[in-house]
Amino acid sequence: MPKIVDNQEWFEIIKHKEYLYVIRERLDEIDPRFYTTYTNLYLVIGAHSALLIDTGCGLFPLKPIIKDLVVGKTLLVINTHSHFDHIGGNHEFDKVLIHKKERKQISKPRDITFLRDSPKEVVKHFENKNYILPPVKEIQPVIDNEIIDLGDISVKIIHTPGHSPGCISLLTNKNELFTGDTAHYGMMYLTKKTFPIILSSITKLLDLFNDSENIEIYPSHEEFAVSKDLLVDLIKGIKNIDKIWDRKIRDDFLEAWVLSDENFKYAIF
């Protein structure tokens, strides 16, 4: 039997600001073959509503933890995109917002049987779900430039495709920029044919710094908060991939080519 871990032990809850919690999940404890240590979920708490950004991989209940943090507020839940490590807890909530291009992906049960042979014992907790993540009951599609009003805090949706077609970033009126999987240090998952699309999305994020140099970046994996150097490094890194292409190594689990530079690893599909 796997070691019993409850949700309080599983999630690391960090009160980063008066109105901003970071809820971290160890993705490497689910499966180290993703080459990623942390998934970061964020909870932004406004005067009348709170926004949960992503729901993790669904191994342990998330809602009880969130409920305790947002007493007396309306809770909204949004997915930065539809990959399994961001949507696993969706079914615990009544409604989830996601970009319209990925609404279909979260409308049906998600098969995660690829985790069955993970070397991590804790993953056996998925056995009672038969390695299927149930879908959310109601989906509210969002589009580029839409504003979510939380009271004193507003959050703007920025469509940043490339890592996936419906990837979004979110910018608050207090200058926090949540970049999802569009930009983070560590392992970046990319498709070679969409390099121009991801480069234009990252450039779009970099342009936000023309209006305010004080933006802080909160990615969905690994380090937070980071500076705009992340975006500059990532553009440089992706543009350089062709030059280091002969260093690529085949990864059978990911079914991708893997290569790295000093700032990033890249899984290229």
CA distance 227 to 68: 31
Q: Give the nearest distance from C-beta 167 to Zn ion in angstroms.
A: 8
DSSP state for residue 96 in the 8-state scheme: E
Give the nearer residue to Zn ion in terms of CB position, either 25 or 216.
25
Q: Give the nearest distance from C-beta 213 to Zn ion in angstroms.
A: 28
CA distance 26 to 227: 23
Greatest alpha-carbon pair distance for the chain in Å reads: 56
3 state DSSP class of 54: coil
CA distances in angstroms from 64 to 30, 105, 124, 239, listed in the order given? 21, 25, 21, 43
DSSP state for residue 226 in the 8-state scheme: B
Structure tokens at 32: 């180290």
Binding site for Zn ion (CB under 5 A): 83, 85, 181
Give the nearer residue to Zn ion in terms of CB position, either 85 or 102.
85
Give the nearer residue to Zn ion in terms of CB position, either 198 or 241.
198
Give the nearer residue to Zn ion in terms of CB position, either 49 or 80.
80
Give the nearer residue to Zn ion in terms of CB position, either 49 or 79.
79
Give the nearer residue to Zn ion in terms of CB position, either 27 or 45.
27
Q: Give the nearest distance from C-beta 1 to Zn ion in angstroms.
A: 29
Q: Phi and psi of 93, rounded to 5°?
A: -110, 155
Q: Give the nearest distance from C-beta 36 to Zn ion in angstroms.
A: 7
Q: Give the nearest distance from C-beta 49 to Zn ion in angstroms.
A: 25
Full DSSP string of 153-205: -EEEEEE--SSSTT-EEEEETTSEEEEETSS-SEEEEE-GGGHHHHHHHHHHH
Nearest residue to Zn ion by CB is: 83
Q: Give the nearest distance from C-beta 203 to Zn ion in angstroms.
A: 20
